[in-house]
């Protein structure tokens, strides 16, 4: 778009020709219309905005006449921009497959094609079109010389969501607690219109509560309102139904916590919502991801089936509450088989293709009936495997399932920090990698503390540290303390930072480089969970007795197994 603007407002003496048209393509709500207006504003030229339906009339010849009048007026005011929104209303393919045969619409399209060929682009006249159905547009409209460029306006990424939130929050009073990065991380997949709605909902909630500014809590509640609807507190569940819903939601959350690389739980609630949910478990991604592995997809399906598994483990029954979970799990399993090539039986054979990618994303089968039967068998195999895994995880941790569910029944809503205290209590464990309790240095999956500590360093440190001699890690346990040992070549004492806050120990280290501005962080994984940084979870540790010593590239942290002090000092001095 920047190159388009520069050609509109600059001379083209070297022979560059201004493109005649550009097509904005993307899902609804991504800001295609706003982007077209912004282009005209940046270029400082007149802007003609119309909808494709403005050309469609029941009277023959009216649409073509309006196209002629539009281009005549635009050429008299050149340089300028013509923007046709929902251009598929007049630009639909004349092929019978897409409903061809409408004489008035085809005559309007023919006139548009003729006008785009006839005007002189050197005068600075550019046509912008917008659609979310590019596959139905006529091929003659898309050829070079008409719509020369196709600009994809996708759903915004993490940085894009942060910037969009800031734009919509410009005229809204925000207090100091607001963190747009955290909101953007929690709204993966949201488009610009969703984010604008969330900001407005947050402002409405602040007004209702009688506050002068919008808080972070208001915005998080607004996210939930957009996703699941408002709280429906007048819907009263029976005692037994409430227990089933509580165990169902804790089943999702617990299966999430018991799997590696699963997204952490942000909130669990059994308060019904207006969109039909009797309760839900909200997960907060740790980072923006564009690729998903097979293992991660299987973990996601296992989490989806965790609610039904909890009902079976605890009540020995099934209910209708898992209908949406089953639908989503089946769709994910189907995509694994037919689209992503994640099964040995079909290898990398494409069995489905996606139509209407920017609307409903409907899949169309590309295989025979016999193959479809085999596909269903593979889908059932994946679903059954994940279902059995969920039951196994919850059966092994039945005590924890009961404990958290009873707490949820009492509170109705619990947040991630409360949930963590149940999961990570009892000794020392790695937070975020292997969430299991340790007994005598070994957890219930056969992993030792040293395995976990090594896993942390291997995933946290950058590869060039290994090139400088590598690093070694070790954890030792005595009846009185744990000792964390790490050999860190190239790291200086002044670059080591250790903090202990709210039972979390975080270690960060930066390695000196030739450039003073460039320091590389090796130890700490900057993974957000609410307002708490990821690190080690320590239970009943006296932080005043924690000792850290760093000498000649070797770090030793001594963690005493004693009651936690009530003092507020979080900084640990490295000797």
- Residues with a known catalytic role: 249
Most distant CA atoms of the chain, gap in Å: 91
Contact present, 175 and 273 (Cβ < 8 Å): no
Contact present, 148 and 19 (Cβ < 8 Å): yes
Give buried/exposed letters for 417-443 (b at 16+ CB in 10 A, else e): ebbbbbbbeebbbbbbbbbbbbeeeeb
Q: Closest Cα to residue 259, out of 435, 438, 382, 396?
A: 435
Peptide bond into 572 cis (omega under 30): no
Long-range contacts, 364-368 (Cβ 8 Å, 24+): 365/338
**Who's near 209: CB < 8 A, 6+ residues apart?**
218
Cα dihedral 164, 165, 166, 171 sign: positive
Q: Rounded distance, CA 280 to CA 272, Å?
A: 8
- Helix or strand run (H / E) with residue 496: strand 491-501
Contact present, 430 and 457 (Cβ < 8 Å): no
Tokens of 348: 């990398």
Pairing of strands 47-51, 80-85: parallel
Q: Rounded distance, CA 207 to CA 295, Å?
A: 45
Using DSSP's 3-state secondary structure scheme, residue 268 falls into strand
Q: Closest Cα to residue 484, out of 569, 564, 395, 550?
A: 550
Cross-strand partners of 92: 137
Contact present, 500 and 545 (Cβ < 8 Å): no
Q: Rounded distance, CA 50 to CA 46, Å?
A: 13
Using DSSP's 3-state secondary structure scheme, residue 557 falls into strand
Q: Rounded distance, CA 128 to CA 97, Å?
A: 26
Query: 72, exposed or middle or buried, with CB in 10 Å at 0-12, 13-18, 19+?
Result: exposed
Cα radius of gyration (the chain): 29
């Amino acid at each position: 778009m920047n190159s388009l603007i520069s050609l509109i407002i600059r001379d083209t003496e070297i022979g560059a020709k201004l493109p005649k048209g550009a097509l904005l393509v993307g899902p609804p709500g991504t800001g295609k219309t706003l982007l077209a207006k912004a282009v005209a504003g940046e270029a400082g030229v007149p802007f003609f905005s119309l909808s494709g339906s403005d050309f469609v009339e029941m009277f023959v010849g009216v649409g073509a006449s309006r196209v002629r009048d539009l281009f005549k007026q635009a050429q008299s005011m050149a340089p300028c921009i013509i923007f046709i929104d929902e251009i598929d209303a007049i630009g639909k393919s004349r092929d019978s497959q897409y409903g061809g045969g409408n004489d008035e619409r085809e005559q309007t399209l023919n006139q548009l094609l003729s006008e785009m060929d006839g005007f002189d682009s050197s005068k600075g006249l550019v046509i912008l079109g917008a659609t979310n159905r590019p596959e139905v547009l006529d091929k003659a409209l898309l050829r070079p010389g008409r719509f020369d460029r196709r600009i994809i306006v996708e759903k915004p990424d993490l940085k894009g969501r942060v910037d969009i939130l800031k734009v919509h929050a410009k005229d809204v009073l925000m207090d100091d607690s607001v963190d747009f990065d955290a909101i953007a991380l929690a709204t993966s997949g949201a488009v610009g219109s969703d984010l604008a709605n969330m900001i407005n909902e947050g402002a409405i909630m602040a007004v209702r509560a009688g506050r002068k500014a919008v808080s972070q809590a208001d915005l998080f509640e607004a996210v939930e309102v957009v996703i699941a609807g408002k709280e429906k507190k007048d819907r009263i569940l029976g005692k037994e139904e409430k227990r089933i819903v509580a165990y169902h939601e804790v089943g999702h959350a617990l299966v999430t916590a018991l799997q590696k690389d699963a997204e952490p739980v942000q909130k669990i609630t059994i308060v019904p919502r207006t969109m039909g949910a009797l309760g839900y478990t909200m997960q907060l991604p740790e980072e923006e991801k564009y690729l998903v592995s097979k293992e991660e997809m299987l973990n996601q399906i296992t989490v989806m089936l965790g609610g039904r598994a909890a009902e079976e483990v605890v009540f020995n029954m099934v209910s209708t509450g898992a209908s949406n979970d089953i639908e989503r799990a089946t769709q994910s399993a189907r995509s694994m088989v037919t689209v992503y090539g994640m099964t040995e039986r079909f290898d990398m054979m494409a069995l489905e293709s996606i139509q209407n990618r920017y609307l409903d994303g409907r899949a169309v089968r590309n295989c025979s009936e016999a193959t479809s039967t085999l596909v269903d068998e593979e889908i059932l195999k994946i679903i059954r495997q994940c279902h059995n895994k969920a039951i196994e995880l919850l059966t092994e941790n039945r005590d924890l399932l009961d404990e958290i569910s009873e707490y949820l029944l009492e509170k109705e809503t619990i947040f991630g920090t409360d949930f963590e205290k149940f999961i990570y209590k009892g000794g020392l464990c790695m937070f975020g990698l292997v969430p299991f309790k340790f007994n005598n240095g070994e957890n219930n999956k056969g992993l030792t503390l040293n395995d976990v500590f090594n896993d942390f360093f291997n995933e946290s440190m950058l590869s060039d540290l290994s090139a400088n001699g590598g690093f070694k890690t070790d954890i030792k346990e005595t009846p009185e303390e744990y000792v964390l040992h790490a050999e860190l070549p190239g790291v200086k004492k002044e670059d080591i930072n250790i903090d202990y806050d709210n039972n979390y120990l975080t270690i960060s280290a930066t390695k000196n480089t030739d450039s003073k501005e460039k320091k590389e962080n090796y130890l700490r994984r900057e993974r957000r969970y609410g307002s708490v940084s990821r690190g080690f979870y320590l239970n009943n540790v006296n932080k005043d007795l924690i000792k850290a010593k760093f000498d000649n590239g070797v770090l030793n942290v001594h963690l005493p197994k004693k009651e936690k002090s009530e003092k507020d000092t979080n900084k640990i001095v490295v000797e």
